[in-house]
Chain A
């Protein structure tokens, strides 16, 4: 077995038993990136020097003897929306093309404290606005299973890197499905935790009330390892909370497990093969003794409209900081634009720095928040959001866990959906409701259609990540 095929726990064991060094592991990944990434384009920045120095430190720790943390010496890729001090952080945007992060995100601090080896920063849809990776200002990431297809997005590089063994695991972010959807397309495991369970400090904000930091890994066990390492209340993020769920979550008994299947997730438009694979997965749980019942989440059909009102509204506010004055791309010194006043600098820096989808969402959001429209759009959407949340709350009175497809189809062709913004928005139909409700969910591979992976989504109640992991692991072990 190649070193780059190991899971986190396998690599950790290998390091402990001195079967290989952290430096060996790091070099194996750097070599793999050199060989493969020209084709895949998962990385925007490869931080070879940083990775090698971090690996060396871990080897020194191992040489001294004693325990090392689970993530020590394990190579990780970081979505280019999370700041790693001293490395470029572009958010996939031209407006931050040369921006160097002046500090570490809290999750990065936590990984560094464990001795993580940071391989680099991964490609993504600009400011996480996209579901295919095609919205990166630097070019699209390819799906390792089929180079003519998208890897999903917006954590496109993170999912592709893990799927192609160019990282042992990766950090991503999920606002409407950006961890789970690319995980489904790339056959990886992707966890979106409860809102607030993981600090957002040092994450470049797209939509503050919906942004979540999470992990993309090869196995459910690894997803739990990374989640446990990055979670927790942070004084730098007032919306972060200590997970209420206790560390010693009760061991799940499968014959006591009540599973809900939302009928609104098996609608027209879903690929029949996706439906078949997901239903087979559900049957497997049933055969093992779980009680399965159909449930209803009646407001599901309003989730995308709700989501695509709330998100642009918050985007129009969050993108205001990119003004050509404080940092990032600016026309201030440009010779092309002479005799500019302040307004010109704003207009031109933002026009030249932002890509098409970002500009579109700024305009939608500014419109929806502008005088006379606030009640009709933003406030209305936040009220419908309450109904979507209530659907889940009612469902979790009856069931422990909800199973559904992660996406209606497997990975689509590059260029197939890019011209029509609405079709692209509908990619989030099964993932956005969970973000709106703030509930935890994981996507795990449940089969393939013509060699293209399909994801099963396991959704849980607030702060019940441990239950979500356990249920997902049962499937993984009995595949």
Chain B
């Protein structure tokens, strides 16, 4: 009997106009999103290669280590291949970090800053389609699953037979869910096939594993809304009421909770503004500059430069000055770096606390759970961004040490020509994308949350239906 109910449910849905509409729309949107994702990724990859080459050329073109120190080097982040399915925050936070001796590195040149119109609408990636469009369809498929049958009178007719209610609700749940999966699975498989055969897109085994889990998360997310629809449908006596309640919950879950969570976290755990942090750093820099002037004056007073008539003494003085300047520069930049790092550490700690609170508050919504988990898996989320930025920040003192040494050793106090920079021993920035195990550690809470909501809503629907007034 269960099989008959499941079969009926699938047939009834498949033959309905809403299924045809859903299927067509899903196919178009999913294939379009994969196609645009691939194109964006390839364009980003091209841009990345060009930016890396240009940076190298710029560095090589510098006339001295001094100008190189001021200009710094640009660290271009390589686009993630899984941004084809989950674009994440990468387009908003910037693709390049400038590392020089003066400032703390930060990400610049985001896609949104170069073309603000993208920021208005965001990107149409697979996560967006599942999060917004398919979750709405899940509601559309279930809002009248029970109450609609009651209104039509078919529930009464079915239950006038030897049909246990638990079998009926189970059959409806399984059949309805399978019907909902068809418009997702078929275009999704087609989209992944495109991803597989498209030239210049190379996905490793690990990437496929991540895609597999992303797809599992999509299924869980849709199941949350599906079981929620079933639950509300089994708690109401009119399908219009059921639809309105579900729409309200959907809006709350998808748009209100995530935004409200960020705002609440900002109120509960405020962080100083970026301007305040910059002002603190600038103030310290000015202090250091004053100190530098005093120390230089002291050195000059204690070690007057010999006149031009004493070339040997003058040469010795030059050597001594170089040594002092190199040591002095090292101490100063060390101090600046230390102070900046302390300010930054404090700021980062506060920011992390705020972010953690915002993430945990917003996790009440399955939409947030989906966003966080898929971005973690695609390595396009906040955590990966922070990891990259931290790797750049760790690289900065290494670069600074190298450039300071080069700069001081190449000082030509006689006013002659400065040597051209030699980049052969310049330390390179290295970044290891997050490993699968680490990503999964972050994904598991969201996965369990979705499973919990599914169980909660399904049990709610089940119990409600056992007591449902079919009249």
A binds B: no
